Every structure is written in structure tokens, then in C-alpha cells.
Chain A
Amino acid sequence: MIIRFFHQMGSPRYFYGVAGKLIPWFMISFLVTLVVGLYYGLFVAPTDYQQGESYRIMYIHVPAAWMSMFIYVVMAVSGLISLVWRIKMTEVVVISSATVGAWFTFLALATGSLWGKPMWGTWWVWDARLTAELLLLFLYLGIIALHSAIEDKRVAARAVSILALVGVVNIPIIHYSVEWWNTLHQPASVTKFDKPSMDVSMLIPLLTMAISFKLYYGAVVLMRARAEIIERERNSRWVMEMVEQEAK
């Protein structure tokens, strides 16, 4: 049963169909959780006693930062699967995730710097987390650049998978080395985030936003995967038949 499921999901045609059916569900639940999360985050959640209203950017910033790491792990896992078992669909997932992941990383950096201006008084601090996030963005950009440079898309997918795996081995090392570097050299005048245990009324909107972002990622990755499948399989019969039917 399970083997049959994986076998079917490995077939581009089947995947294309299932993905097409799933996208509306992802989209609808994304919009619902987005509206609920933003409403509770921006209007219902109490004002922070230290940071005032500006802490509310957290409801975008924190989920985006979580997504930037989550997507990289997804890429590395699907990269491993596609290298070991040569499953075409996981290759497609690796490629489709890269751009979304890069944008989430960029969003986390941009909102972080907007948040940093009122809190720290500066747009950018060489804080351990900020630096690690910036390096993560570079890793994403490297993956995108490598993929676009290789003409044969199947070869490109496998090369990118290796790169994602090398990156995922390195991310913890980069993270801890940046933390070490920072703790030794950062002047004490800049206040770092100490994580207070968060109140439930703030935590619930935050988690809702996190789920919302995950659903958005699901929808976008399926859309991109569908586009990638069509491009790869453009010479196969089922795609041609589908196009002919659409044209009628």
C-alpha cells in the first residue's frame, strides 16, 4: 500500500494531477490562517511592555525565519532522496523550494532590519543570528545560480541536491562559529534579544502565522513543481494530450 503510494507519487503525471487538486486547499487554508493570524497578531494580542507596538513585526519576521531554515532542511532531505533513489519528483521539489526559501530568508532579513531600527537604533548589527541568516541567503543564491547555469535540468537537479546536502552539513557549523565569533567580539552596548517566555496571547497568533506560512510554501512549491514537470515532460504524450484538450 505504502510502496504503491510512493510509486504513484514518483510518476510525474500522477503527481501533476494530485498537486493540482491540493493547491486550492493549501491556498484556502493559507488565506484563512493568514487573516486569523494577522488579526489576532495586529489587533488582539497585547502591546509589549518593553517594545511597544513595533514588536508586532515579529508575526512576520519569526515565521519567515523559521521557514527559511525549514525549507532548507526540506531541500536537503528531498535532495538525499533524489540522489539515493533517483526519484524525479523529489528532484522537482528541491528546485521548486529554492526560490521560495531564498525569498523567505530575504523577508526575514528585511523585517529583522526594519525591527532593528527602532529597537537597536540601527538597520544592521553583526549579530550572530543576522549573520547566520545572511549566509543562509548566500547558500540559497548559490543553489539557484548553480541550477540556472546547468543546461540539462536533470543533471542540474542532482548537482543542486549535492550542494544542498553539503550546505546542510555546514549550516550547524556556520551557525555555531558565528555565535562564537559574535560572543567574543560584539560590544556589550548592543542589547541582544533575550527570549522571555512568551505570553499565550502572543504565542497563539505567532504559531498561527507559522502554520499559515507553511501552507503558503506548500501551495507555492506545488505550483512551481507543476510548472517544472510540464517543462520537463513537454515531449511526453500525456502533456501533449493535455495541451490539446486545453486548446479545445
Chain B
Amino acid sequence: MSTLSLTSAFSMLLKRDLVLAYRRRAEMVNPMLFFVLVTAMFPLGIGNDPKLIEAVGPGVIWVAALLAALLSLDSMFRSDFDDGSLEQFMLSAHPVSILVLAKVLAHWLVTGLPLFIVAPLLAVLLNIPASAIPTLMLTLVLGTPVLSLIGSVGVALTVGLRRGGVILSLLVLPLYVPVLIFATDAVKTAIVGIPTTAQLSILSAMLVGSLVLAPVATAASLRISLS
């Protein structure tokens, strides 16, 4: 293990997680289905006035994405924690934060990316004009990795707990607020036809910031949870 370079350790871990996810394909579909279902519930709840649906559409899609991300978070470290491989990662010679990054990336590819793929479909369902769909997808590409990264800290803190699920949502949802605000605002602005560079720049800044800081916090949290 000590002769393994950091890059190959990163890519091996990434590959391992992707293979494991591929072998449980049914689980991969669940967050996506949840995303679609929650979004489909909203028009049923608020009525079928097209104007109203269009007005709440961006918010509904993003709140559903938030919940789908939250729902899938628990699986990030769960199986590795149960079978003890998480402890092996802690013992490896490589910085844990980089290994964490590989796991978060794998998790996002499996749970975050499918949301991005079905988003155009949901946008059509919610009367979002075609001109705003690229912006919606851009916010999802920039925003959902932030959700996974921030979420990884929460999961790392609660992975050892028996009833961690409810606490996890309490820990993570307030921290998701900035992403929600800027992402929905970008889409709403795009619907009106105004440039969205400002919102997208801030979302990118959040992505960069959480990319740098979150893995460190997650690694420290994992050490605490495993102690």
C-alpha cells in the first residue's frame, strides 16, 4: 500500500466505489425516482394553474433535488463503515481527505448526476421555458456536488449512530440554504431572460470552497466517529 502513489490510490478507490454501485444498480435509480416523484407531487398539491406552476417550478425542482441528495447521503459511508473498510482507509499512508474526495466523487457520480439527467424532463413538466433549461442544468452541475461535499461532513459525523438519519437532515439542511437560494434564483432570472453570470459565479465559488474545505472536515469527522 505504501508504494501506491496518491493518484492511483484515488483512482482505485473511485473505481472500486463505482463498481460496487454498479452491482447494486437498483439502488442507483432510487434517488432519481424520488426526485421525479417529489417533483410530480407539487402540481398535484398546488393545483394545475400553468402560471403558478411555472412560478414555483425552479424552487420545486431544487427543493426536490435537495431532498433527493439528503436521502442518498446515508449510503456514502454506510457499507464501508459496517464492513470495516473505512477503518482501513484511515490506516492508509495517504491523506484521508483525498480518499474522502474520491468517495464523494463516486457518490456524486452515482446519485447526483442522474438528477442532472432527468432535470430537463421535469423542467418540461413544470412549464419551465426551454431557454432556461441550460441554466437549470448548469446550476445542478455546479450545485449538487456542493450538496454531496457538505453532506459528507454530516454523514461522517453521524455514520456511527443508530438513528443518524433524522439528525443528519437537521445538520445538513441549514447548510444547504445558500446553494438553494442562488440556484433557484439563477433559474428564475434565466426564465425572465436576464444574464445569470453572477449567480453561477457564486455557485462556482461555493463549489471550489467546499471542494477545498469539506474533505478536511469530513476526514476529521470520520476519525472522531471511528475513535
Residues of chain A touching chain B, judged by Cβ–Cβ distance below 8 Å, are 83, 135, 138-139, 141-142, 145-146, 149-150, 155, 158-159, 162-163, 165-167, 169-170, 173-174, 177-178, 180-181, 184
Contact = CB atoms under 8 A, between A and B. Distances in A.
Contacts of B221: 159, 162
B130 interface: no
Interface stretch (B8-16, B75-83, B158-166): B158-166
B174 A180 contact: no
B181 A158 contact: no
B121 interface: no
Given A155-B227, A159-B221, A177 B173 contact: no
Given A158-B224, A178-B181, A149 B161 contact: yes
Contacts, number: 71
B178 A166 contact: no
B182 A159 contact: no
B181 A142 contact: no
Contact of A162 (B153, B167, B206): B153
A83 B220 contact: yes
B171 interface: yes
Contact of A181 (B164, B167, B185): B185
Residues of B contacting A: mostly: helix
Nearest to B226: A155
Contact of B167 (A146, A166, A177): A146
Contacts of A155: 224-225, 227
Contact of B174 (A135, A146, A162): A135
B220 A141 contact: no
B185 A139 contact: no
7 contacts: A146-B157, A149-B163, A155-B224, A155-B225, A163-B157, A174-B174, A174-B178
A167 B170 CA distance: 12
Contacts of B220: 83, 162
A142 B171 contact: yes
Contacts of B166: 145
A10 B190 CA distance: 56
B171 A173 contact: no
Contacts of B171: 142, 145-146, 163
A145 B158 CA distance: 11
Given A142-B171, A149-B164, A162 B177 contact: no
Contacts of A159: 157, 221, 224-225
Given A158-B224, A174-B177, A181-B185, 9 more contacts: A138-B170, A145-B166, A150-B160, A150-B161, A169-B213, A170-B175, A170-B178, A177-B178, A181-B181
Instruction: With a 10 A CB-CB cut-off, give which of B175, B182, B217, B220 has the most chain A CB atoms.
Output: B175
A173 B170 contact: no
B201 to A, nearest CB: 13
Contacts of A135: 174, 177
A226 B80 CA distance: 39
Contact of B158 (A141, A149, A167): A149
